[in-house]
Structure 1
């Protein structure tokens, strides 16, 4: 431990920026995701999340990886709060928020996942597919910055970029799942991966609908925000409902292809998560609620700040 951070030290001849370090705050914030992953994904590996041995055998690498991703995600969220007139990673950018730290700025500009890649490679866990998902994470953050900056600057956006971003958003779950296959020496089950990717998409949409007002205030990526910007306030709910319906149809088809016992377990888990979290987890639990759209986000943020 280094202060409030856990660190895996590099080889002596590596660049200091290749240190893989995570802060305690990131570890704490990643806990709920790790719990959800264990309870929702272990069943796809014939494991029980209720058995401590199942969890603790794989917890160190899963926890470190998810915490590292959370740390970078938190840094990216800070970038979204900066004035849109300040170019990201410019000298002016570093002056605007010195709390981000010069080292973090350099690392994010250079190759944010390199330290994690080194750790996974040393552990014999790195695969081309995991590397691809890490690149998806970088792509998601870049799209999030671009799209959210466009919204606050009242610029046009690409709906293709917006839907690409929502598909990429759960890259951390896919990385942990791929790591679990590696840790257990299992071949990746493509049906399970495809099914879970569609489920992840629907969960992300559900989360965005639940967090819509907060995301407007904080200028976070939110699929409803993007649809409102692109289609307009009247058509956005209709187009988003169509988007959800298409994903649900794909989900239902893949659900039927699963082993019946696994299908039943997963649906039960969705029901548990919904009752615990107070929001729809996945598509199979009834109707969707699309909140009233916010036509003037700037006015909404101003009113919120004065409240």
Structure 2
């Protein structure tokens, strides 16, 4: 559905949306907006075509999508500050207050769905798990993979909000299918991005999926991480292979856009920390 059609049918009014958000107190920083711009750019490239939306439609949806993603990164900044103080767990998660703000704004503009609530909770679970994994306690590969899958929940959160804004949740099966189909690409994207930032993240001791693999597997980390990358790539293609040609097309376009934007990264040599 084109955004113009959504407006004409009364499903979505970006002018009212802007007014409602403007009524709230400032709660995001420039730094969070800058960091979140990468996710918004990729969301535009990979997800908008799934719903026949174009670049011209983006700014109609930007206020709420940008607001939500900036709050995710605002939380990330605050959690990293807590982690720098070597806290093994977060007693009062910054995400709790951010989640309330998001739900309040979504309620004002009449956007509500169980999937939105689900992915908001997933992000909270991720921030807690990430802090635990950095605390020095023992962990296994399943915990790292769970963190990687939870960390990409912001894409599914944005996806759910977009679908609700387009009034697509009446077709619940289609929405769930689209969320599931994009899931492997989201996790793959997250892990590959960590390969690029690996050395920098080690230097500042930030969370990084590959860094956790190195802590767990040592010099064999590249082998085990490659297996997971191959798994998620294979899962994505396996899922879309059973679709009809018409249904499959936008997902193939999303994959091609991703690979055009992200060449397959080299897995760096492990850095062994003290």
* Pairwise TM-score range, normalised by the shorter structure: 0.7 to 0.9
The alpha-carbon deviation at position 271 of structure 1 amounts to 3.4
- Give the TM-score taking structure 1 as reference length: 0.73
Determine helix, strand or coil for the equivalent of 2:27. strand
Show the 5 A alignment for 1:176-215: 176-187=158-169, 188=172, 189-215=175-201
The alpha-carbon deviation at position 31 of structure 1 amounts to 2.0
5+ residue gaps, structure 2: 1-19
Does the aligned pair in 1 maintain the 2:185–2:236 contact within 8 Å?
A: yes
Partners in 2 of 1:107 and 1:149 — Cα distance? 16
The alpha-carbon deviation at position 248 of structure 1 amounts to 2.2
Show the 5 A alignment for 1:37-56: 37-49=43-55, 52=56, 54-56=57-59
Show the 5 A alignment for 1:231-270: 232-258=217-243, 259-270=247-258
Q: Which residue of structure 2 lines up, in the alignment, with residue 303 of structure 1?
A: none
Comparing both structures, which one devotes a greater share of its residues to helix?
A: 2
Match status 1:72 vs 2:49: no
Partners in 2 of 1:266 and 1:46 — Cα distance? 12
Match status 1:117 vs 2:99: no
Partners in 2 of 1:164 and 1:245 — Cα distance? 17
Higher relative contact order (CA 8 A, sep 6+): 2
Does the aligned pair in 2 maintain the 1:133–1:174 contact within 8 Å?
A: yes
Higher Rg: 1
Q: Which residue of structure 1 lines up, in the alignment, with residue 16 of structure 2?
A: none
Partners in 2 of 1:110 and 1:269 — Cα distance? 34
The alpha-carbon deviation at position 241 of structure 1 amounts to 2.0
- Give the TM-score taking structure 2 as reference length: 0.81
The alpha-carbon deviation at position 256 of structure 1 amounts to 1.9
5+ residue gaps, structure 1: 1-5, 11-18, 91-105, 281-287, 299-307
Determine helix, strand or coil for the equivalent of 2:218. coil
Return structure 1 stretches of 4+ with deviation > 3 angstroms: 6-10, 86-90, 109-112
Deviations 1:189-208 (A, max 9, x none): 22221121100111111111
The alpha-carbon deviation at position 110 of structure 1 amounts to 5.4
